[in-house]
Structure 1
Amino acid sequence: MAENKTKPTGADVTAFLDAVEHPTRRADGHALRALFERISGEPATLWGPSIIGFGSRHYRYDSGHEGDMPRIAFSPRKANLVFYLHYYDGYADDLARLGKHKAGKGCLYVTKLADVDGAVLEAMVRKAWESDGEACA
């Protein structure tokens, strides 16, 4: 069975965020770090080369594949901010009120924080942190 490549690295999260090329995405990354730390009460940890995660949870699929992943996370990618959140009741309702975004197979994509309702995003992150639901994969 393949080993999960996305693991905590111990790399400096502040240095990673400071190195984000796009100035808006860099500023949004710092703002999201503060939001996620406030909600989770956990310090930011770099998982793999580019995912900023908070807390961790163990998962096991029916196939037998298992591993650890952040409970909630985001990544300031080149094209978008990517959110890795747990599913919870009301997810679709929150997305309808969020603002400009794209929802992929299991992740949420936002170009910049100014495009979305901050209160709705904060509520989504809080619900995801408190949820025991299945994680986005």
Structure 2
Amino acid sequence: MNAEVEEFLEGVTPAVRQRDARTLLELMHRVTGEEPALQHPGIVGFGRYHYEYASGRSGDAAAAGFAPRKTATVVYLSDGTAAHADALSRLGPHTSGIGCLYLKNLDDIDLTVLEEIVRSSYATLTAGTFGTRARDAAPD
């Protein structure tokens, strides 16, 4: 594993966030086949995808990722949480934003469903140039 990622994970608090981060590290590595990399401060990312919006804005970002925060772990779903509404209804306790899934304790959720969500999001984002912002993504 990337030494920078390992060093980051060692400093994650509280203990439940560190435990959950290690679980997500393994899950996302397995799903994506990509090695973890420390992205923006505090974000562990896997793989890359290219986006280009109608506005002309374009760039590259992690195709899967998470951030262990003090109050919850954030799982990034850049294709929008609306695209995963059915699976999210089966996940267990969580909250969500436009492109973020907030989890307080992975022991309380169905990890098989979380893996399904991450796999689907990663596949969508890496299928080609992604042209929809999460807030504009319509559910399937």
Q: Given the two structures, how large is their TM-score scaled by the length of structure 2? A: 0.82
Contact between 2:53 and 2:133, CA under 8 Å: does it hold in 1?
no
**What is aligned with 1:7?**
none
Q: 2:63 aligns with which of 68, 71, 74?
A: 71
**What is aligned with 1:38?**
30
Q: d(CA) in 2 for partners of 1:65 and 1:86?
A: 15
In the TM superposition, structure 1's runs of 4+ consecutive aligned residues that sit over 6 Å from their partners are none
Amino acid at match of 2:107: A
**What is aligned with 1:101?**
94
Amino acid at match of 1:120: V
How far residue 57 of structure 1 moved from its aligned partner, in angstroms, is 0.9
How far residue 90 of structure 1 moved from its aligned partner, in angstroms, is 5.9
How far residue 87 of structure 1 moved from its aligned partner, in angstroms, is 3.2
**What is aligned with 1:57?**
49
Amino acid at match of 2:29: E
**What is aligned with 2:121?**
128
Higher helix fraction (1 or 2): 2
Q: Given the two structures, how large is their TM-score scaled by the length of structure 1? A: 0.84
Question: How many residues are aligned here?
Answer: 128
How far residue 11 of structure 1 moved from its aligned partner, in angstroms, is 7.1
- Relative to structure 1, is the Cα distance of residues 77 and 85 closer, same or farther in structure 2, using a 3 angstrom cutoff? same
Q: d(CA) in 1 for partners of 2:5 and 2:124?
A: 25
**What is aligned with 2:19?**
27
Q: 2:85 aligns with which of 80, 83, 92?
A: 92
Deviations 1:45-97 (A, max 9, x none): 11111111100011122222221100111110111110112438961100100
Contact between 2:78 and 2:121, CA under 8 Å: does it hold in 1?
yes
**What is aligned with 1:80?**
72
Amino acid at match of 1:105: I
Deviations 1:10-44 (A, max 9, x none): 87001101100210100110111011011111100
Q: Percent identity?
A: 41
